[in-house]
Amino acid sequence: MASAPASSLRQIQLAVSASIFRDGKILIVRRAKPPAKGLYSLPGGRVEFGETLHQALHREIREETALEVEIIGLAGWREILPAPGNNGHYLVLSFASRWIAGTPHLNDELDDFSWVAPAEISAFSTTEGLEDIIRAAENLLR
């Protein structure tokens, strides 16, 4: 998720993310920029004015990873409050999805990715609540 423009730092930013499942594994990506720089998370970003949540999710996934996905449903949400190193206030709606096509090609917002079994997530430094969101997304796929 890119840093918010200075003019919007005092507004809540609506964002989306995706748990992308393929062959029993999930795609995690490492953030190269604040907020969450250096932590593994899910692909996603801010919803632009006039976009539906699904349009924003497809756009963000294409921009960040070049993947195409099928959106299954809303897996949960997370609120990120302003804190040192993170001046933005975000509401992130996280969706469960299935990989359809493509090979991950990361943009400059990300610097690493891995397809991992959901049970292996704890071996990575992740954003807060990631394991819970992935578990909820997994339940939607069953």
Closest residue by Cα to residue 30 from 118, 133, 127, 112: 112
> How far apart are the C-alpha atoms of 88 and 28, rounded to whole Å?
22
The Cα–Cα gap between 73 and 138 comes to 11
Specify whether domain 24-141 bears CATH 3.90.79.10: yes
pLDDT, tens digit (0-9, with 9 covering 90-100), for 27-70: 999 999 987 899 999 999 999 999 999 999 999 999 999 999 99
Q: What is the DSSP letter of 47?
A: P
Q: Is the pTM of this model over 0.75?
A: yes
